[in-house]
Amino acid sequence: MTQRPGKLKQGCAVGLLCSGLLFGALQLAAPWVQAAQVLEKSKAPTQALKETNNYTVTSVPVEQLHLDTPSLPDLSGYTAAAVEAKIQRTPGGKVVVRRMLQQDALKDFVGGNERLREWVQRQHGMPHAIFIEGGYVTPKDLARSLPDSQFSEVEPGVYLARLPIVVAQGATLHVGKDTKELRLSQERGSFMVNDGQLFFTDTKLTAWREADNGPASFRKADEFRPFLVSWGGSELYISGSVFTSLGYSNSKSYGVSITQYTPSMQARLKRPEPTGWLINSEFVDHWYGFYCYEAENVVLKGNTYRDNIVYGIDPHDRSHGLIIAENTVHGTKKKHGIIISREVDDSWIFHNKSYDNKLSGIVLDRNSVRNLVAYNEVYQNHSDGITIYESSNNLLWGNRVLNNARHGIRLRNSTNIRLYENISAANGLTGIYGHIKDLSDTDRNIALDPFDTEVSMIVVGGKLAANGSSPLSIDSPLSVELYRVEMLAPSKSTGISFSGILGERQDEILDLMVRRELAVLIDPVESQTELQD
């Protein structure tokens, strides 16, 4: 059973800290530098020891642990006006209806595994889709061009699509403020595919269950629900809009996705990496609130991801240069609030709030490296606050990680993790926990997702307070460096208590770091066998 922290003693030094942490601002003012520049190579040994648990505790020069405050991307250009400025309203486009077969943009949905059957059943015959080609089109143009059985204005400014909609390469669909709501019929198998440019500004997109005359709210994982996918070479812009009840458990059909074509298709089409901005919008009851794959420079800014099913925000394979900033993610029902996974590199996750999610608030996973996670508020999640799995060379700076059910910050099989000026308080287990785990006997694809059973960290500044089991624990590290870390209000009556390797050398560590105010290095003693080698 998860251990919960006890109440703080009245008058305790950390009482004021914990009561004000959640909404208090941690202000740091120093010249900004790029995060990648401060992620230096770890000086720790490159190979874990085989047979010894013997470690030395020594002081190290403080200067070698100094980092300038990391640089954050300028967000001032990601505005509704900037999105509007990108829309090219001439020339006008055309609207045609074509069979879904033999269309590159639809092959992922009508190929093998009898996927065509879904649309045959829903359309009661050979399936067709609406194609926007050659220029600029709005929902009003679609309603004017198509019969009500395919696309109709059901009330002023409210449109219902009863076929899939494809924005072709070189075309633009703009769903703007003149459209109160665009509804995609679940019963008729409607969904949206962007192969060109797609804009939503000050509007609503809703997966619509005609039988209920309302949103196609989630019922089960494999039940078709309308979705939006933006393919390689495309651009997707969403501003000031509300998206509701999209996506289900089927490839590229997760909700709102920005994704490169499948490898076989991309080998033939050779499309650039897709991109887009999703700003100041709300995403509710999606299978995944957001998903991307091999995307570049995507911006998620100022959005709310609420009550989504599996993940709130989920950038995936080989996406890079992402900005995930100023979002609020909460109520994710199955897994994590924000997760980047499988070589999602060189990205920024900052000034987000992630809370009340089923598992962790923020996760870096499967060899995602050179990322900056800064100034986030991560609290009241039902597992860890911030979790790093098999993802080395990342920097966590100035985060507030509070009252999560398990560990505040957890590292597994990850080296050169730098934890600067973070606050981890009132979490159920450990404030910061590092460990190794052999994943060979799991269902993990080792060739696709390799890992080393090694862990190392540098912890500088910040506070570890009132965590349930210990402030800091690490098992079998390559190295640990500690400096200027405040440890307050232990939940145990015996006071501050480390566990793991640190517990064995606790007196020496506290003497150097607390009494003498020095930087501490804990690293392993080489075994005699290794010395002979």
Output the pLDDT for position 532: 46
In whole angstroms, give the CA distance from residue 382 to residue 481: 29
In a domain, 238, yes or no: yes
Domain match, 214 and 246 both: yes
Of 260, 278, 296, the residue that ends a domain is 278
Output the pLDDT for position 267: 95
- The one-letter amino acid at 171: A
Domain match, 54 and 99 both: no
Domain that holds residue 519: 1-75+359-365+374-533
Q: What is the DSSP string of 135-184?
A: SEE-HHHHHHHS-TTTEEEEETTEEEE-S-EEE-TT-EEEE-TT-SEEEE
Instruction: Judge whether residue 30 has pLDDT over 80.
Output: no
Greater model confidence, 323 or 13? 323
In whole angstroms, give the CA distance from residue 268 to residue 111: 17
In a domain, 318, yes or no: no
pLDDT band at 35 (very low <50, low <70, confident <90, very high): very low
Domain match, 25 and 128 both: no
In a domain, 192, yes or no: yes
Average pLDDT over residues 29-42: 32
In a domain, 321, yes or no: no
Tell me the C-alpha to C-alpha distance, in Å, between residue 189 and each of 129, 343, 521: 10, 33, 60
Instruction: Judge whether residue 27 has pLDDT over 80.
Output: no
Domain match, 425 and 531 both: yes
175-191 pLDDT, tens digit per residue, is 999 999 999 999 999 99
Q: Is 439 within 8 Å of 400 (Cβ atoms)? A: no
Tell me the C-alpha to C-alpha distance, in Å, between residue 500 and each of 453, 473, 475, 494: 16, 5, 5, 17
pLDDT band at 495 (very low <50, low <70, confident <90, very high): low
Instruction: Judge whether residue 7 has pLDDT over 50.
Output: no
Average pLDDT over residues 307-312: 98
* 71 DSSP 8-state letter: P
In a domain, 309, yes or no: no
Instruction: Judge whether residue 17 has pLDDT over 50.
Output: no
In a domain, 494, yes or no: yes
pLDDT band at 84 (very low <50, low <70, confident <90, very high): very high
258-284 pLDDT, tens digit per residue, is 999 999 999 999 999 999 999 999 999
Instruction: Judge whether residue 31 has pLDDT over 60.
Output: no
215-272 pLDDT, tens digit per residue, is 999 999 999 999 999 999 999 999 999 999 999 999 999 999 999 999 999 999 999 9
Against a cut of 0.75, is the pTM above it? Answer: yes
Domain match, 54 and 169 both: no
Percent of the chain with pLDDT over 90: 79
* 308 DSSP 8-state letter: -
Domain match, 399 and 456 both: yes
Instruction: Judge whether residue 78 has pLDDT over 50.
Output: yes
Domain match, 166 and 257 both: yes
Of 278, 306, 336, the residue that ends a domain is 278
Domain match, 163 and 52 both: no
Q: Is 502 helix (H, G, I), strand (E, B) or coil?
A: helix
Of 278, 304, 331, the residue that ends a domain is 278
Output the pLDDT for position 48: 33
Domain match, 99 and 19 both: no
Output the pLDDT for position 526: 66
455-483 pLDDT, tens digit per residue, is 999 999 999 999 999 999 998 899 999 99
Output the pLDDT for position 494: 60
The structural domain count of the chain equals 2
Output the pLDDT for position 493: 60
In whole angstroms, give the CA distance from residue 341 to residue 345: 9
Average per-residue pLDDT in the chain? 88
310-368 pLDDT, tens digit per residue, is 999 999 999 999 999 999 999 999 999 999 999 999 999 999 999 999 999 999 999 99
pLDDT band at 113 (very low <50, low <70, confident <90, very high): low
In a domain, 341, yes or no: no
Output the pLDDT for position 1: 34
Domain match, 32 and 135 both: no
Q: Which residues are catalytic?
A: 316
Percent of the chain with pLDDT over 70: 87
Domain match, 410 and 514 both: yes
CATH number at residue 145: 2.160.20.10
- Lowest average pLDDT, out of 37-51, 176-190, 312-326, 501-515, goes to 37-51
Average pLDDT over residues 119-147: 97
- Lowest average pLDDT, out of 71-85, 199-213, 437-451, goes to 437-451
Domain match, 58 and 194 both: no
Average pLDDT over residues 31-53: 34
In a domain, 517, yes or no: yes
Average pLDDT over residues 277-292: 98
Q: Is 73 within 8 Å of 371 (Cβ atoms)? A: no
